[in-house]
């Protein structure tokens, strides 16, 4: 019954929904790239849908030089990779501890992390600045990385704990009967089994860190330690936006993350399937 | 080492690094910010100068009862719209999409569509905000250009419900996130159970209702918690798209808080009071979600 | 196994430490004075490309004993940096700031040095417009900064090209303006373009001037003193006038959906006969020094007049030909600099350079500063484009100045006004309700002081 109905009417609806989502996702990106080849003046004075009358290539070299991209990209990569590594590792460790090693305190600690998911970063900006400043880490990479890792943890710990909870106890018990300690069980069984959630976390953390700008701007001064969003901010202001250059800067900052996503997008499903077979 | 000692030691090694970093970076500043909400600090050096006095719940009273503009309640109402769209829009839609993709109800392009639906999640909310501001929130927006392309005489009409476009963008943006979560968990359901049911003559809708949905109850609760917290915190996208306008009609709590803390003359106690109340509301909603989830869990399992 | 985890973690920590330390250099030598500067800088600003060379490098070259450590910030990050430095007690020596508004914490907490003694000692005020060194116009009531310029937040841009194409002259009175609406509409033109999507625009660029016309000089003082209210008939009449502009079609209700970044493009493409904005907007129309791109080329600029809103020929108006004027941004010094110290002298030397003739001339020339605070800048000797000249002469079109509302009242008070003026455009509120909301917030604010 169901399948026959699906083959005609429902399928049209299904494909329509899927295609709408796809167009909504792709079109703005294409639009952005096209507009980045207009000068601000021609963007403002011509049809916003149209291709450039005259392709204007100066935005990219200008933005690259004056946006400080060559320095910022290196910083972005450093911040992002280190943050992703530690968030994924520490969240897996803590998730296993909370889910599978029985201590009463787990409940409380885990609850504490959940509260962390609910916080807005704006509310802790000033206290965080005071702390980073008082321990002398202002304007250092460590002074940015530690907050980044700390802010990535709540959601990561929450998802990891949830994931590890669903690993069958028998699997872990059998490992322990074989004489493996908790740490060994973590390394040889739990961590590999968490690959799906780790990949998801890595993507969430990667994009979050790559796009973060409030803390980065607050905790660093001067160009040496800033990351890519600082460059984007230079071309957008409340008193007049330099659209052509803004779009070029946005395009430059978007390309690496699109590449990253296109490379790892299959890992999400693959990782998930692998987990299913083992579990 | 004794077994008990090994247990304790392992627990410490596994849990402490995350807990310590978390305490330093998140928990301590949060307590600090709650303390600030009870003072009259309004800029300048915090310690060592006479800038800080304990004044009790003055900011809370003002925000909740005495503020004639009721700005807090307008913002809260908008946040609740977002919560509703997230819980009753993104999650069901994400679930349906995941279900379509797992059960291979469409023959072609599953992987492609999955990639596209999740795509908005990797793009910075700032970029999405800038794009949609140019796309919809503008008299001379791309959207209006499209409308005029088909109907040159079309006039821009003012929208009395400016939250709707925001909600649509939010629905579009985050549905992919929940789809991925459901997808991951649906694929963990043993395929042989479904096969067996199908061979026994169970219809697709029975499979959905009696096998997949019950297995997803916990995931739905988890997703709802993430959706609720995300909805209450949402900032970047709306700030870039509308800055809370027109006339404050799309102002949400985080924007209201931001205005108090960083625009005009700073009012940190008020800003921190807002964020404290935001956390309390989140906790309340999450407790309710869990309770509802438990009711279903008891019934289904 | 345990050991391997431990060592793994310690290796990671060492790695992170090494990475972070790798970036830390150490500066320090004997007789050089280091000055930390918080600068508001965006590459998108007119003249930004040359600023580093002509302002900062030039100063260091002329003063080899002073080394500048500059922190360039822009927009929101700038304000974060200021607030955070203030809270931590780590404010730089020389600070870019506003005379009140978003920098008010610096003024009211006296984090900026009182410059009056230094100005008096060096007779530094001689070449300045007397109004800019007025301590009462600053947030703390003392001379905490020296502004780069004076900002007229209202400017009435007239596009003669559009008017001539339909055979009209610039409207001299409000009635004439209303009469032009149907003619312009017939020809497909908007009457007045305004970017009302951002709520501050209506309040800052029009309402502040209109409030002066209806409520008279010093109206804000009367409200602060408690002898007048926002709900008094004269202030309400000013709000009613804004509503009337929408009703008469002088302003289209759809301007509530015109975003601030897009209005110059619309005005440059002759979509409207008039535009209301601030004097700073000229910088967006003139030639971009870096690319040579221009929104309105100098020939067409001859057809743009810059003046103030036409005479309002309605009962209740106390005077016309006014503007809303506020001190511009400028420079202050850290209050912790000790009197008589070398460091204070060095910082003062830098400040004098930053608001000196050479730097301000450069800023005027590059289009970033419509009206400088100095009186000794010879505009005629500069190669300015017609709109730059027009805006420099805006002062000839008005003979009274009023406050800008967001500089005269706290954010808590003007926010409901900003929101309310926008709601008038949407048609969802009455002028009296707006006034009542503002008055309520004002009384609440006052009670809390």
Question: Which pLDDT belongs to residue A169?
Answer: 87
User: Nearest-CA distance from C116 to chain A in Å?
Assistant: 31
Question: Which pLDDT belongs to residue A273?
Answer: 44
Name the average pLDDT for chain C.
Answer: 88
**Same domain, residue pair A157 and A251:** yes
Check if the beta carbon of residue C138 is closer than 8 Å to that of residue C132.
no
- Count up the domains in chain A and report the number: 2
Residue A203 has pLDDT above 60, yes or no: yes
Q: Phi/psi at A122 (nearest 5 deg)? A: -60, -30
Look at B145-149, C159-163, C260-264 and tell me which has the smallest mean pLDDT: B145-149
Look at A212-221, B99-108, C350-359 and tell me which has the smallest mean pLDDT: B99-108
Check if the beta carbon of residue B293 is closer than 8 Å to that of residue B213.
no
Residue C249 has pLDDT above 90, yes or no: yes
Residue C410 has pLDDT above 90, yes or no: no
When scoring C257, C448, C449 by the number of chain B Cβ atoms within 10 A, the one with the most, hence best to mutate, is C257
Q: Which two tokens stand for residue A129?
A: 């600045």
Instruction: Tell me whether residues A31 and B131 touch, CB distance under 8 A.
Output: yes
Question: Which pLDDT belongs to residue A276?
Answer: 39
**CATH label, C152-325+396-448, candidates 3.40.50.300, 3.90.1300.10, 1.10.3470.10, 3.40.190.10:** 3.40.190.10
Classify A179 in phi/psi space as left (phi over 0), alpha (psi -120 to 50) or beta.
left
Cα–Cα distance for residue pair C320/C314, rounded to 1 Å: 11
What is the enclosing helix (H) or strand (E) of C233?
helix C233-247
- Chain A contact for B14, CB < 8 A? yes
Task: Check residues A41 and B264 and name the one with the higher pLDDT.
Answer: A41
- Chain B contact for A13, CB < 8 A? no
Give the percent of chain C with pLDDT over 70: 92
| In-domain check, residue A108 | yes
User: Nearest-CA distance from C291 to chain A in Å?
Assistant: 8
Check if the beta carbon of residue B113 is closer than 8 Å to that of residue A22.
yes
Question: Which pLDDT belongs to residue A278?
Answer: 35
- Looking at residue C296, the DSSP 8-state letter turns out to be S
Chains touching C by CB (3 or more pairs below 8 Å): A, B
Question: Which pLDDT belongs to residue A239?
Answer: 60
From B97, which residue of chain A is nearest by alpha-carbon distance?
Answer: A18
Q: How many CA atoms lie within 13 A of B42 on its CB side?
A: 21
Question: Which pLDDT belongs to residue A2?
Answer: 44
Topology of the domain comprising C33-147+329-372: D-Maltodextrin-Binding Protein; domain 2 (3.40.190)
Q: Which of residues 28-87 of B touch A (CB under 8 A)?
A: 28-30, 32-33, 36, 46
For residue A165, the domain's CATH number is 1.10.3720.10
Classify C154 in phi/psi space as left (phi over 0), alpha (psi -120 to 50) or beta.
beta
Size of interface B-C (CB pairs under 8 A): 129
Question: Which pLDDT belongs to residue B301?
Answer: 37
Question: Which pLDDT belongs to residue C184?
Answer: 96
Residue C24 has pLDDT above 50, yes or no: no
Task: Check residues A211 and C17 and name the one with the higher pLDDT.
Answer: A211
Residue B293 has pLDDT above 70, yes or no: yes
Beta strands in chain A, from DSSP E residues, in sequence order: none
| In-domain check, residue A40 | no
Residue range C411-429, pLDDT digits in tens:
889 988 998 999 999 888 9
Question: Which pLDDT belongs to residue C96?
Answer: 95
- Chain A contact for C284, CB < 8 A? yes
**Same domain, residue pair A134 and A6:** no
Q: Phi/psi at C334 (nearest 5 deg)? A: -65, 130
B158 band by pLDDT with thresholds 50, 70 and 90: low
Cα–Cα distance for residue pair B29/B51, rounded to 1 Å: 19
Instruction: Tell me whether residues C84 and A62 touch, CB distance under 8 A.
Output: no
Domain boundaries defined on chain C: 33-147+329-372, 152-325+396-448
List residues bridging with C173 in a β-sheet: C311
Classify C101 in phi/psi space as left (phi over 0), alpha (psi -120 to 50) or beta.
left
Domain region containing A153 = 60-278
What is the number of residues in chain B?
301
Cα–Cα distance for residue pair B202/B208, rounded to 1 Å: 10
Task: Check residues B102 and C299 and name the one with the higher pLDDT.
Answer: C299
Q: Which two tokens stand for residue A34?
A: 């096209």
**Same domain, residue pair A25 and A127:** no
Task: State the angle between helix axes of A141-165 and A104-118 in degrees (0 to 180), rounded to the nearest 10.
Answer: 120
What is the number of residues in chain A?
279
User: Nearest-CA distance from C270 to chain A in Å?
Assistant: 10
Question: Which pLDDT belongs to residue B133?
Answer: 79
Cα–Cα distance for residue pair C422/B158, rounded to 1 Å: 12
**Same domain, residue pair A28 and A116:** no
* Closest partner CB to B22 (pick from A113, A159, A262): A113
Decide whether C33-147+329-372 matches C152-325+396-448 in CATH topology. yes
**Same domain, residue pair A137 and A213:** yes
- Chain B contact for A275, CB < 8 A? yes
Chains touching A by CB (3 or more pairs below 8 Å): B, C
The domain defined by B60-300 carries CATH number 1.10.3720.10? yes
How many other CB atoms sit within 10 Å of the CB of residue A37? 21
Q: Phi/psi at B65 (nearest 5 deg)? A: -120, -40
- Quick one: which of B140, B97, B133, B138 has its CA closest to B118? B97
User: What's the rounded mean pLDDT across residues C33-62?
Assistant: 86
- Looking at residue B72, the DSSP 8-state letter turns out to be H
* Closest partner CB to C87 (pick from A126, A141, A214): A126
From C50, which residue of chain A is nearest by alpha-carbon distance?
Answer: A66
From C440, which residue of chain B is nearest by alpha-carbon distance?
Answer: B68
Residue B213 has pLDDT above 80, yes or no: yes
Look at A4-13, A98-107, C4-13 and tell me which has the smallest mean pLDDT: C4-13
Task: Check residues B143 and B125 and name the one with the higher pLDDT.
Answer: B125
Question: Which pLDDT belongs to residue C222?
Answer: 95
User: What's the rounded mean pLDDT across residues A213-234?
Assistant: 82
**Same domain, residue pair A136 and A274:** yes
What's the ipTM?
0.84
Residue A180 has pLDDT above 70, yes or no: yes
Helix ranges restricted to H, C355-404: 357-365, 386-392
* Sign of the CA dihedral running B237, B239, B245, B249: positive
Question: Which pLDDT belongs to residue B300?
Answer: 46
- Is the N-terminal amide bond of B262 cis, ω within 30° of 0? no
């Amino acid at each position: 019954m169901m399948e026959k109905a699906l083959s005609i009417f429902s399928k049209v609806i299904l494909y329509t929904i899927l295609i709408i989502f796809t167009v909504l996702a792709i079109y703005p990106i294409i639009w952005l790239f096209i507009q980045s080849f207009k000068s601000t003046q021609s963007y403002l004075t011509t049809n916003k849908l149209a291709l450039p009358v005259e392709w204007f290539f100066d935005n990219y070299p200008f933005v690259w030089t004056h946006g400080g991209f060559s320095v910022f990209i290196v910083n972005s990569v450093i911040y992002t990779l280190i943050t992703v590594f530690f968030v994924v590792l520490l969240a897996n460790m803590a998730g296993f501890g909370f889910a599978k090693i029985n201590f009463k305190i787990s409940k409380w600690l885990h609850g504490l992390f959940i509260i962390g998911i609910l916080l807005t970063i704006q509310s802790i900006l000033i206290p965080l600045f005071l702390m980073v400043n008082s321990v002398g880490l202002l304007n250092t990479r460590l002074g940015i990385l530690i907050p980044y890792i700390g802010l990535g943890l709540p959601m990561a710990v929450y998802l990891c704990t949830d994931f590890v909870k669903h690993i069958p106890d028998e699997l872990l018990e059998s490992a322990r009967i074989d004489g493996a300690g908790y740490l060994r069980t973590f390394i040889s069984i739990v961590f590999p089994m968490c690959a799906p959630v780790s990949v998801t976390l890595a993507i969430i953390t990667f994009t979050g860190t790559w796009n973060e700008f409030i803390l980065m701007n607050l905790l660093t001064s001067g160009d040496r330690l800033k990351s890519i969003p600082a460059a984007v901010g230079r071309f957008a202001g409340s008193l007049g936006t330099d659209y052509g250059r803004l779009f070029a800067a946005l395009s430059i900052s978007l390309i690496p993350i699109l590449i990253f996503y296109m490379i790892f997008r299959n890992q999400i499903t693959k990782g998930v399937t692998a987990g299913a077979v083992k579990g | 080492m004794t077994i008990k000692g090994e247990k304790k030691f392992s627990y410490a090694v596994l849990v402490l690094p995350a807990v310590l970093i978390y305490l330093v970076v998140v928990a301590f500043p949060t307590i600090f910010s709650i303390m600030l909400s009870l003072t009259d600090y309004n800029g300048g050096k915090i310690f060592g100068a006479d800038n800080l006095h304990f004044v009790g719940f003055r900011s809370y009273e003002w925000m909740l009862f005495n503020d004639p503009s009721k700005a807090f309640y307008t913002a809260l109402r908008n946040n609740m719209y977002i919560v509703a769209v997230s819980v009753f829009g993104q999650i069901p839609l994400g679930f349906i999409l995941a279900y379509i993709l797992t059960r291979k109800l469409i023959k072609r392009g599953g992987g492609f569509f999955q990639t596209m639906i999740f795509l908005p999640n990797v793009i910075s909310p700032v970029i999405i905000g800038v794009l949609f501001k140019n796309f919809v929130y503008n008299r001379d927006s791309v959207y209006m250009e499209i409308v005029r392309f088909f109907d040159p005489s079309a006039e821009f009409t003012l929208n009395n419900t400016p939250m709707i476009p925001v909600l649509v963008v939010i629905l579009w943006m985050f549905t992919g996130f929940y789809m991925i979560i459901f997808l991951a968990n649906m694929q963990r359901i043993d395929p042989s159970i479904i096969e067996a049911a199908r061979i026994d003559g169970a219809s697709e809708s029975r499979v959905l209702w009696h096998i997949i949905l019950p297995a997803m109850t916990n995931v739905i609760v988890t997703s709802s918690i993430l959706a609720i917290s995300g909805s209450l915190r949402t900032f970047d996208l709306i700030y870039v798209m509308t800055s809370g306008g027109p006339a404050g009609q799309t102002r949400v709590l985080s924007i209201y808080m931001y205005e108090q803390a960083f625009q005009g003359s700073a009012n940190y106690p008020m800003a921190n009071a807002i964020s404290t109340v935001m956390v309390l509301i989140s906790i309340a909603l999450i407790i309710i979600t869990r309770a509802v989830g438990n009711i279903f869990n008891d019934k289904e399992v | 196994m345990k050991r391997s985890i431990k060592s793994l973690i310690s290796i990671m920590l060492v790695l992170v430490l090494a990475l972070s330390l790798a970036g830390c250099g150490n500066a320090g030598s004997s007789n050089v004075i280091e000055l930390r500067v918080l600068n508001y800088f965006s590459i998108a600003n007119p003249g930004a490309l040359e600023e580093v060379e002509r302002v900062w490098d030039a100063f260091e070259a002329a003063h080899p004993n002073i080394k500048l450590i500059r922190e360039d910030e822009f927009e929101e990050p700038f304000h974060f940096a200021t607030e955070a430095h203030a809270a931590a007690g780590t404010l730089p020596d020389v600070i870019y700031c506003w005379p009140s508004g978003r920098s008010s914490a610096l003024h009211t907490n006296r984090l900026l040095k009182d410059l009056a003694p230094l100005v008096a000692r060096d007779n530094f005020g001689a070449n300045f417009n007397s109004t800019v060194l007025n301590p009462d116009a600053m947030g703390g009531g003392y001379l905490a900064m020296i502004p780069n310029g004076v900002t007229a937040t209202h400017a009435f841009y007239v596009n003669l090209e559009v008017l001539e194409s339909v055979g009209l002259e610039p409207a001299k009175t409000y009635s004439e303006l209303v009469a032009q609406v149907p003619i312009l509409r017939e020809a497909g033109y908007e009457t007045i373009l305004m970017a009302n999507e951002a709520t501050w625009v209506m309040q800052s660029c029009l309402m502040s001037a209109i409030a002066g016309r209806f409520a008279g000089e010093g109206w804000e003082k009367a409200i602060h003193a408690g002898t007048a209210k926002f709900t008094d008939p004269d202030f309400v009449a000013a709000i009613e006038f804004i509503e009337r502009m929408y009703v008469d079609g002088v302003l289209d209700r759809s301007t509530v959906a015109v975003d601030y970044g897009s209005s110059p493009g619309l005005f440059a493409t002759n979509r409207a006969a008039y535009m209301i904005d601030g004097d700073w907007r000229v910088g967006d129309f003139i030639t971009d020094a870096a690319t040579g791109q221009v929104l309105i080329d100098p020939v067409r600029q001859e057809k743009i007049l810059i003046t103030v809103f036409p005479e309002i020929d309605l009962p209740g108006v106390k005077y016309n030909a006014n503007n809303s004027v506020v001190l511009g941004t400028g420079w202050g010094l850290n209050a912790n600099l000790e009197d008589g110290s070398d460091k204070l002298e060095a910082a003062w030397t830098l400040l004098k350079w930053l608001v000196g003739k050479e730097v301000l001339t450069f800023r005027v020339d590059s289009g970033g500063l419509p009206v400088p605070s100095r009186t000794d800048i010879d505009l005629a000797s500069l190669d300015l484009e017609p709109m730059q000249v027009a805006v420099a002469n805006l002062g000839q079109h008005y003979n009274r100045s009023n406050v800008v509302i967001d500089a005269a009242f706290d954010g808590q008070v003007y926010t409901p006004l900003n929101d309310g003026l926008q709601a008038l455009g949407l048609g969802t509120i009455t002028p009296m309700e707006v006034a009542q909301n503002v008055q309520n917030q004002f009384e609440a604010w006052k009670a809390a002081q």
